[in-house]
Structure 1
């Protein structure tokens, strides 16, 4: 349970930092935390299904297509959570790289 809360905070922090450099809008600071929660739920429910459905494409691209799936998850989070908006696929792609690196670093630190 602690790990999920920390990961939620990492996602919220990445969204907050990304909003300083990229066109991401959030009404309040709580919207970043809410977006982190929604991203966690989307990654828990929808992402595994997409990973399974795109195994051939992932194998063909040596796993790089996973970044596109992560981008879709961020765009879905933006669509599902009012008050949080990511403008465009390119911005969402950059945010997905940031979220992936931050979560990878967090996992490396905690192990």
Structure 2
């Protein structure tokens, strides 16, 4: 349970940072930011694996760079579902995907991987 809370907080921070750094990404209020983090977590768990499998040939041809487009599409989907979250175009989505990916990578480095303890 603690892992889900930490992941939620990291995602919320990453989306907030993306809104500060990337032009075309924004939130109306804090509630929209938190709801977007929840929806992005759900979309990353459900939609992103499906898109990743469907676009695997493009991912191979582009040496993995197409995953940025997949991540941007998932962020754009969340923005389309949530009225208080705005992603203005593909480049803003890719920028948000880069920022959230870097923040998640750094947080994973500090927090640790998927190591499970036998406690």
TM value normalised by structure 2: 0.86
Q: Give 1:92's aligned residue.
A: 93
Q: Give 1:27's aligned residue.
A: 28
Aligned equivalents of 2:74 and 2:8: distance in 1? 15
Matches within 5 A, 1:1-111: 1-21=1-21, 22-111=23-112
Aligned equivalents of 2:92 and 2:69: distance in 1? 12
Aligned equivalents of 2:86 and 2:9: distance in 1? 18
Pick the structure with more helix per residue.
1
Report the structure number with the largest CA radius of gyration: 2
* Number of matched pairs: 111
Deviation at 1:39, TM superposition (A): 0.5
Deviation at 1:75, TM superposition (A): 0.4
RMSD over aligned Cα atoms: 1.2
Deviation at 1:24, TM superposition (A): 2.4
Tell me the secondary structure at the aligned position of residue 26 of structure 2: strand
Aligned equivalents of 1:66 and 1:39: distance in 2? 16
Deviation at 1:91, TM superposition (A): 0.8
TM value normalised by structure 1: 0.92
